[in-house]
Structure 1
Amino acid sequence: MDFSLKDIAELAAKPENIVIAIEVLGLVAFAASGAIAALKKDLDPIGCFIVGAVAGIGGGTVRDLILGRNVFWLHDKYLYSLNICFLTSLVFYIFGKRLARRENIVNWFDAVGLSLFAVQGYMIGIETSGSVEIAVLMGVLTGCGGGFLRDICLTRQPFIFRGEFYASAALAGLFVLWLTSMPILSGIVVFAIRACTIKWHWRFK
């Protein structure tokens, strides 16, 4: 079957396809953050895989349990979400040891994951509940949950407890999403705030 550019654009613009695209990119970003953080702690390959998977699927798992949805990665065809996390962790375990020495590298991958998953969580929350308040809560939970669980596994202080603009960055981006209904703009806002926090050490205190 032939598709025109218009057909492809319309297909890509469907909310369910946007959610899937965000999910895949977010899984890669968070799994990479987990794998690199594990490398910094000198974990073995199994530890690297586990931390990468926890970071990738953790926030979405908690979200789905709270909303009473089927846990997304348990119902993926071929378990693609879990496999993405494992493959990403494997790649970074093999090739990322030099990258792991760079300062703030975990923070940058985490910022990408946060910006993507906060938007995805909001979109799923609004579709499931119809409530903006619940959607915002699910967006923050989905965005922050994986990083929180990753840091707990590695006995690191979670970003959300460091006085940085983290959950607040997600809230700001989701406020933009509520006002504009523009997921891309929302994600950019979240990432921009986190980028400024990483680069210039923005804090509440």
Structure 2
Amino acid sequence: MAWEVLSAIGTIAFAVSGAIIAMEEEYDIFGVYLLGIVTAFGGGAIRNLLIGVPISALWEQEVLFQLALFSMTLVFLFPNRLLVHWNRWGNFFDAIGLSAFAVQGALYAVDLGLPVYAVVVAAVLTGSGGGIVRDLLAGRKPLVLKAEIYAVWAAMAGILISFGLARSDFWLYALFIAITALRILSFTYKWRLPTRKILTR
């Protein structure tokens, strides 16, 4: 049950995220739908390619595609006075998508019997892959590479699930809430990983 719920939550959150960014960049309606679909399903596609799952598995998710299309249509029809608050809520949607897809991606890899490092990679790519593709297509520096702690939370989900510490539905939902909360805290309080800048003359 958790698998289906988290897939739906992640798909809606990232489809909305992609659609909003497309409208910020003044894309036409085709661009809005394209960027929303890429954001919602890009991470899963990248994950499937790396762990050997046929890419055609994406086209079997008819209900998720319908959810994504409905969500994007709803956002596209929203009054502008509501959309101006995206800067306040955008990171919230992104945090939900990251968390839901990280947990879902880790579960997918565990069910295939993959080793720990593969589970972590699957969690990170599923959670952040769609956002990376979205940002690149929108001409932006990927959020995962420049902003507050982001993909680390997805990796944490992968580690916990790979060691069997969150396998029941209750603990999976608890992990989803915890990762979402940590991501929100990290951008609220500007938590960052150490960086090193090379100075040039």
The structure showing larger relative contact order (alpha-carbon pairs under 8 Å, at least 6 residues apart) is 2
CA deviations over 1:46-66 (Å, ceiling 9, x no partner): 111011101100001111122
Q: Which residue of structure 1 lines up, in the alignment, with residue 148 of structure 2?
A: 164
User: 1:95 corresponds to which letter in structure 2?
Assistant: F
Q: Which residue of structure 2 lines up, in the alignment, with residue 11 of structure 1?
A: none
Alpha-carbon distance in structure 2 between the residues aligned to 1:204 and 1:195: 15
User: 1:132 corresponds to which letter in structure 2?
Assistant: V
User: 2:50 corresponds to which letter in structure 1?
Assistant: I
| Structure 1 counterpart SS, 2:48 | helix
Q: TM-score, normalised by structure 2?
A: 0.85
Q: Which residue of structure 2 lines up, in the alignment, with residue 9 of structure 1?
A: none
Aligned pair partner of 2:176 in 178, 187, 199: 187
Q: Which residue of structure 2 lines up, in the alignment, with residue 140 of structure 1?
A: 124
Alpha-carbon distance in structure 1 between the residues aligned to 2:88 and 2:123: 24
Q: Which residue of structure 2 lines up, in the alignment, with residue 80 of structure 1?
A: 63
Shift of 1:67: 1.9
CA deviations over 1:20-72 (Å, ceiling 9, x no partner): 22111110000011111112112221111011101100001111122222333
Identity %: 30
Alpha-carbon distance in structure 1 between the residues aligned to 2:80 and 2:98: 23
Contact 1:57 1:81 in 2 (8 A): no
Contact 1:173 1:189 in 2 (8 A): no
Deviates more, 1:166-175 or 1:142-151: 166-175
> 1:33 and 2:17 equivalent?
yes
Shift of 1:81: 2.3
Shift of 1:127: 0.9
Once the two structures are superposed, the pairs formed by residues 26-175 of structure 1 within 5 Å of their partners are: 26-71=10-55, 72-76=57-61, 79-95=62-78, 97-102=80-85, 103-175=87-159
For structure 2, the 5+ residue unaligned runs are 195-201
Alpha-carbon distance in structure 2 between the residues aligned to 1:83 and 1:119: 22
For structure 1, the 5+ residue unaligned runs are 1-16
